[in-house]
Amino acid sequence: MYAPFTYLKHVREEFTHIVWPTNRTALAHTLVVILIAVIIALIVALMDYVFGAMVSNFVIG
């Protein structure tokens, strides 16, 4: 079993292998995620409106 300090040394070594994205790439990916979230929110809102109208029309009508 590794000692805690040996484990942390290995973690630090692994961090040198990480290739961090550029600011431009990170911004582009963030905008894509936000866009997809907005699209999904609009789809869910539309479905909620349609199903709500159907149910209220069924109950009232």
* Residue 2 forms part of a structural domain: no
Q: How many domains, in total, are found in the chain?
A: 1
Tell me the pLDDT tens digit for each residue of 5-53. Answer: 999 999 999 999 999 999 999 999 999 999 999 999 999 999 999 999 9
**Could you tell me if 21 and 29 are in contact, meaning their C-beta atoms sit under 8 angstroms apart?**
yes
Q: Return the number of other C-beta atoms located less than 10 Å from residue 19's C-beta.
A: 4
Provide φ and ψ at 22, rounded to 5°.
-75, 165
pLDDT of residue 57: 84
In this prediction, residue 1 carries a pLDDT of 59
Asked, for residue 31, whether it belongs to a domain, the answer is yes
Distance CA 6, CA 17 (A): 18
Domain-located, residue 27: yes
Q: Domain for residue 8, yes or no?
A: no
* Residue of 29, 11, 33, 12 lying closest to 21 (CA atoms): 29
Q: How much is the pLDDT for 59?
A: 78
Residue 51: what pLDDT? 95
Task: Domain of residue 52: give its range.
Answer: 22-61
Q: What is the DSSP letter of 61?
A: -
